[in-house]
Structure formats: C-alpha cells, structure tokens
A and B are shown apart, each in its own frame.
Chain A
Amino acid sequence: MRSDLARASLSLKVAAAAGLLFLHVPILLIFVYAFTTEEKSYQWPPPGFTTQWLAVTWNRPDVWQALGLSVQVAAISTAIALVLGTLCAAAISGSRFFGREAISLLVILPIALPGIITGISLRSAFSLMEIPFSMWTIILGHATFCVVVVYNNAVARFRRVSGSLVEASMDLGANSFQTFRYCILPNIGTALVAGGMLAFALSFDEVIVTTFTAGQQQTLPIWMLEELVRPRQRPVTNVVAMVVVLVTLLPILAAYYLTRDGDQVAGSGK
C-alpha cells in the first residue's frame, strides 16, 4: 500500500516530465535563437550558429540606454522600498493601534491588484496632478509593489524579534538609533537583503505599470516589446533576453538562499 503511494506510475512520471519541459523548453529556445545566423524570422531549425549578435548587441546604444534606465529605476525603487517597507513593518509588528489590520491590508493590496489597475490609476493621478512623465514616475509606479515585497519579508522577521529585545537594548542604555543599529538590524538584515533582491528583480522586468507611467523613456522590457515588431537584427532581442534571465534569476536564487540561512539563525535564538 505504502510503496504504491510512494512510487509514481509511469504515466505520472511522463506527465510531470512533459509539464517541466513545457515550462522550460521555450526559455532554452530563446537562448538558441540568440546564436542563430538568420535575423528576420525565427526559423527552426536554425540554419547556422554564430556569436556575432553578442558584438552587435554590445555596440547598440539603445540597448545600453534601456539597460541603464532599468537598472536605475530598479535600484532607486528598491532603495525607497527598503526604507518605507521596513518602517511600515516595524510599525505594524511593533505596536497595536486602531486600524492596524486595515493598514496592513492596504500596504499589501498593490501587489494583489492587477498591474493594469495600478498603472491606469497612477497614470490618471499623475496627469491630474500635472506631473510630467519621467524616470521618476516610473520609479513611483515600481515602488508601489516593491514596498510590498520588502514589507512582507521584514514583517515576518520583525515578529520573531520579540518586543522585549528592543526594551532590553534600551534598558542597557542604547538610544533609538543604537537600538536599531545593534539590536534590530542584525536580526532583520538578511530578510531585508532578500526582500530588496526580490524587489529589484520585480522592478527590472516589469512591463505593465511601466507602460502606463513612462513617457518617452524605454526600460529594457519595453524596449524588447518594441524590438519584436521590427524585422531586422532579431537575435539582438534574444541576447538581451538571455542577459535579463541571468540578471533576475541570480538575485532571486541568492535571496532564496539568504532567507533559508536567515531562518536558521533567527530561529535558533528562541
């Protein structure tokens, strides 16, 4: 009975393998097409392989511009999110006040809302307030969901830093700043790094909110969308896509490992 349950049937194995292949083969295809010799349509099988597109991509100023903007946007919105998300998590977990649950829900809401709603509402709000679209409007749009990611990571950790630790620190003569520096930060640090990396990755490949909050600026994902409709030098998009996969995958993996270790460190104290 038990071994029947533990051992999957052949058909289940095949189905699982098929599911995994369906998810990941397209990503592999992107990598393959980055090295094809054919530039006008995605022809299968590729007529030949070349690394010339790496050099072509390297020499395209529009790629660098889009990449630069994306990195800037992701970095600044992550920084904003780190400050606001941490403060918010500290307030929600550190004290009880009227409307605490409601505020907690309101903070999380932007990530639950479809991006298109966030985008439209921000766009109309910006034009209502006559704020010209710029890099900063993109950053504001991204910060709305980046804050949530940081908040969610931080609030879980704050719950484990019991209130008496903060009191103990103050009791021993540490003022508020010292208490944050020597008592709170070491206990929530890995959660913040993890939250920050996730926020960065989310912002880096965001399309929908960006479409609504950008003016003439092109972030990397927007640039890729535009590039798809052009007939020439298609593999350049694939090279960029490959870079994006690496740039976003690595921080997420790092965040995963950091929080895993962090759990052990924080959990061992209690």
Chain B
Amino acid sequence: MTNAVSFKQVSRHFGSVRAVDAVDLDIGEGEFFAMLGPSGSGKTTCLRLIAGFEQPTSGHIEIFGQQAEGVPPYRRNVNTVFQDYALFPHLNVLDNVSYGLMVKGVGKAERHRDAEAALELVKLPGYGSRRPSQLSGGQRQRVALARALVNKPKVLLLDEPLGALDLKLRENMQEELKSLQKSLGITFVFVTHDQGEALSMANRVAVFDQGKIMQIGSPEDIYQRPNSRFVADFVGSSNVLPPDFVAKHGGERRWASLRPEAVRIVDGEAGALDAIVVSRSYLGGTTRLSLDVDGQRINALVPAGHPLPEEGALIRIGFTPRDLHLMDGAQ
C-alpha cells in the first residue's frame, strides 16, 4: 500500500542551520500522526515541507506516491490549519470557508452549500455571515478547520492547532478532532510541543530534536519504552537514571528510564532503597514526591488516598526490575 506521506533522507537547511536533517519518515493512509518536539526541533519545517511552503535542500518527498519536490502548495491535495488560523479578515465566514472552492471555479450556489455543510461538520451552522473578528478563538479555529476540510484534502496538516485555546476548550477540541478524523478517514498530521496532546490524540508519534527524528512509535512505545534520554525526559517526564546507578541497583551498566508512577513506597521489602523526601507537589489525582536516593533525584507519583510522607522524612521505595527500561544507544 502507498504511504500518505513519505520522506526519504529529507534535509532542509537555512544557511548553516540544519532545520531538518536527513529525515526518513512514512505516514500511512488514515493515520493520526503527531510530530512532537521542543521549539526549533524541525517539526514545523517538516509540516511546511509537506504543505509545499518549503522545498527540501536534499532528499525526496512523496505524497500518495507522487513526487512532491517542486510542486507548489496550490497544486497539492493537502490543506493546512494554521497556528494563527490565518482567516481572511476581508471575507465573512462563509466566503472564508468557500475560498478554496471559489479559486477552483466552483459556482457560487454549490460552493456556499458545501461551505455550509463544512460549517455544520465543525458545529458552527449559521455562522456564515459573521466576520472572523466577531468570533472567539475556539470558533475561529473551527472555521479554519472547515475551510481546510471543505476541499476534501487527502492529508490535513495542523500546526499547533490547540496552542491558543484555554484548557477546557483544548480538551473538547482534542476529542472532536479525534472523532472527526475517525469519521472522515483523512490522514491527519499535527505538530505540537505538548506531549500530553500528542500521546492522547495520535496513533503514532514522531519525537523530534535538532532536526532529527529521535523515535517513532505508538504513544505506548514512546511513553513506556523511550529509546533515549531525550525522549524519556521530553515525553514522559520519566526519571532518567545514569549507568552507575542502574548497575548498582540490579541492572546493566546502561542508561535507563523509570516512570514516576512505577516507584512505590514500601516497608522493609527486599531490594528497597532509602530515600529522603525533598518536596511534595499536589497534582489533584496524584501527588508528586521529589526524592533524593543516594544523591540521585527520583520523582515518584503517589495516587490520591495513599498516606503521604512529610517533607524531609526518610522512607523506603521500591520498583520491579521490569519497570526499569534500559535505553539502547543512549548517549
């Protein structure tokens, strides 16, 4: 089967800056794919390479099996939801949504009907006559979504789609985007720096750092089996343990990650470690303890309802060896 998007050794350099550096990437048809990474990691440039706003310095890009280099954005069957929505201020909502159909020469009656249907899809029926300036941030985002979807793209690109929304709205939109993607069956590629968002929405996640993909996998893979200190630290806020510490506590002499929820408070069990509680942070459903174990800082999550040790208290902690995830080739 053909991939929706395929990168082969794609690089995009800006002068001496390697924004994207020899990236190999396959995104399958119908996937909900997340590009996750800190700002400046190259994820947005990758998105712009797919959209056609950037051309690769070297390498090869295919969209549904067709070569994409040199093809301008307006001849790609790909649409983008921009971070700042980029709604046309001089057009009302209906004309914004039907813009793509208008430039393709679709008649007025037909394109307005399609635009109405798209507005219905994003739960904004009857908003057609308003100006973008009269809408709230969440509504503008929905209009931007409708404006892209009305063109029936094969790939929908979303650049930090939820970044400008408040928490409640963001959670709603996450659910809506997921069900929308499922019902339409369109390949969604979205860029985010929010690991929670990437893990909860995507089928597959690529973690970017310094222009390279550090790891690609399902959210479970990325979260539970990070392959590097960077991924462990960025995605899971996992405890990253140095080789010496791991060797001392029953592992190989390698870097390892340990998820904070795998750390348990125990009473005199074998294999338990002495730890001093440095600080406590109440997170609602859980409380995070910051512990000092032999000079190594380890975070532990204690579910609500369990007894909490005081700050400065000496406690004993344990974890099962299989929770200790050894990382391959960790630098």
Contacts and interface: CB of A to CB of B under 8 A. Distances in A.
Nearest to B84: A164
A205 to B, nearest CB: 34
Contacts of B82: 164, 167-168
Interface in B84-139: 84, 86-91, 99-100, 102-104, 131-133
A167 B79 CA distance: 11
Contact of B86 (A162, A175, A182): A162
Interface in A165-191: 165, 167-175, 178, 182-183, 186-187
B259 interface: no
Contacts of B86: 162, 164-165, 167-168
A170 B74 contact: yes
B151 A172 contact: yes
A159 B99 CA distance: 22
B74 A173 contact: yes
A199 to B, nearest CB: 24
Contacts of B151: 172-173
Given A162-B84, A167-B53, A268 B89 contact: yes
Contacts of A270: 89, 133
Contacts of A171: 51, 53, 73-74, 78-80, 148
Contact of A172 (B89, B100, B133): B100
A174 B96 CA distance: 13
Contacts of B83: 164
Given A171-B79, A173-B151, A174-B103, A269 B89 contact: yes
A79 interface: no
B89 A187 contact: yes
A175 B74 CA distance: 6
A269 B73 contact: no
Given A164-B82, A265-B90, A269-B132, A178 B53 contact: no
A172 B99 contact: yes
Contacts of B148: 171-172
Contact of A169 (B52, B75, B99): B99
A137 B236 CA distance: 72
B142 interface: no
A135 B99 CA distance: 44
Interface in A112-138: none
Report which residue of A167, A173, A183, A266 has the largest number of chain B beta carbons within 10 angstroms of its beta carbon.
Answer: A173
Given A173-B74, A182-B99, A182-B102, A168 B88 contact: yes
Contacts of B78: 171
A170 B72 contact: yes
A36 B271 CA distance: 115
B193 interface: no
A167 B90 contact: no
Nearest to A160: B89
Contacts of A174: 74, 99, 103
A268 B88 contact: no
B15 to A, nearest CB: 12
A190 to B, nearest CB: 10
B229 interface: no
B147 interface: yes
Nearest to B91: A186
Nearest to B103: A174
A266 B82 CA distance: 20
A193 to B, nearest CB: 15
A169 B82 CA distance: 11
Contacts of B147: 172
Interface string B36-74: 000000000000000111000000000000000000111
Interface string B240-266: 000000000000000000000000000
Contact of B73 (A165, A167, A183): A167
Interface in B140-156: 147-148, 151
Contacts of A173: 74-75, 100, 103-104, 151
B260 to A, nearest CB: 39
Contacts of B73: 167, 170-171
Contacts of B102: 182
B188 to A, nearest CB: 15
Report which residue of B75, B80, B88, B102 has the largest number of chain A beta carbons within 10 angstroms of its beta carbon.
Answer: B88
A47 B172 CA distance: 85
A165 B88 contact: yes
Contacts of B75: 173
A270 B78 CA distance: 26
Nearest to A174: B103
A173 B87 CA distance: 15
Interface string B172-198: 000000000000000000000000000
6 contacts: A167-B80, A168-B86, A172-B148, A183-B88, A265-B89, A270-B133
**Which 10 pairs across A and B sit closest by C-beta, in order of nearness?**
A269-B89, A172-B100, A168-B86, A164-B86, A174-B103, A170-B73, A186-B90, A268-B133, A171-B80, A178-B103
Given A164-B86, A169-B88, 9 more contacts: A167-B80, A168-B86, A171-B53, A171-B79, A171-B148, A172-B99, A175-B74, A186-B91, A268-B131
